Amino acid sequence: MQTDQDKMTDSTGTDSTGDMLRESAARLFQSACDTATLRAADHGTWPAALWQAVEEAGLTKALLPEAAGGFGVSVPDALSLLRVAAAHAAPLPLAETMLAGWMLAQAGLNVPDGPLSIGPVRPGETARLSRDGDGWQIEGTLTRIPWGRNAAGLAVLAQCGTETWIALVPASAFSAEPGANTAKEPRDNIRLHGAVTQAARTTLSPDHLLMAGAVLRTQQIAGALTRLTEMTVQYAQDRVQFGRPIGKFQAVQQNLAVMAGQTAAAVAGADIAADAMESGFSLLPIAAGKARAGEAASIAAGIAHQVHGAIGFTFEHNLHFLTRRLWSWRDEFGKDASWNARIGQTIARTGAESLWETITAA
């Protein structure tokens, strides 16, 4: 008798669950994330219909184990859904909600429905958790929290004495001072000032959270770059100048080749970063993946605008929905320079005699 798992395995014996999830997500975003939704989000409108479709499809809990309502897939397969969403420039906290749920589940806490975010997202910031009778109180200020004003709750790493705890902070226990990144996605300053819903000790550290955020942004950069390259190649084939498509000119072809190479590098970086998160947060693959993806975002976005010319800078064209997110995501959860510095520091500590072993082990 064929089991459900057998049905998810193709004739070569390869598990196709991840492919099925990605195909389903692609159909969802294709139908529900249109230009009108993107433009409305740019003006501050929460895309309620799109969020409802994403949540009903279970994408927000893809990173959770089956016991917590997830799909029970690998971390790379779950994170690959972020590439699909980013390819459509989906203006949603899908990455943040997935990560918040994963953090809560790791500590044995219940994962609520609704959009979630995480904190702190910048080094050096701290929240304080303290006992209040049978409950808990949290206080502190966190800056640049993604989608803070739209979050039903925040998964916050907080200090309780000398220990690190994770707290689920409901919207009633924080206030948001609106801010935004280059893509006009909310990046709000949050003041924590109330009772938390749940709290537990956690083995996660602020550095783990920084690395996890870097992994998620790397996935998003890879997805957006893949779509950006497709758009730019198609435009070069369609745009006629001096009697022939501009894609026939050698200089344009060379730029498109560079763009394709940068995209391939970002995708490879996203792959190794996802694997490193699944295996327990190995620093070097995550640092290298994020730094390389950020570099690729800068180079490829520039080429895309060069090929599109003036039309690519207009609000009416959809190019900017991708490039503005690429410029924003490359700088979040660590810029290229900071991750490259950590790579250098790590290699320096291991010593010259261990260089090759360190590189190949990563």
- Contact between 205 and 253 (Cβ < 8 Å): no
Rounded Cα distance between 303 and 257, Å, is 10
Tens digit of each residue's pLDDT (9 = 90 or more) over 101-111: 999 999 999 99
Could you give the residue range(s) of every CATH 1.20.140.10 domain in the chain? 206-361
For 54, 113, 153, 280, 301, the CA distances from 48, given in Å and listed in that order, are 10, 14, 17, 35, 29
Rounded Cα distance between 344 and 256, Å, is 31
Tens digit of each residue's pLDDT (9 = 90 or more) over 143-193: 999 999 999 999 999 999 999 999 999 999 999 999 999 999 999 999 999
Share of the chain above pLDDT 90, in %: 89
Could you give the residue range(s) of every CATH 2.40.110.10 domain in the chain? 114-204
pLDDT band at 9 (very low <50, low <70, confident <90, very high): very low
Q: DSSP label at 152?
A: S
Rounded Cα distance between 4 and 275, Å, is 26
> Whole-prediction pTM value?
0.94
In Å, the largest CA–CA distance within the chain is 78
Q: What is the pLDDT of residue 15?
A: 58
The predicted model gives 56-67 an average pLDDT of 95
The CATH class, in words, for 206-361 is mainly alpha
The CATH class, in words, for 114-204 is mainly beta
Token pair in block for residue 265: 């590098």
DSSP string, 50-67: HHHHHHHTTGGGTTS-GG
The predicted model gives 128-134 an average pLDDT of 94
pLDDT band at 274 (very low <50, low <70, confident <90, very high): very high
Chain center to CA of 14: 26
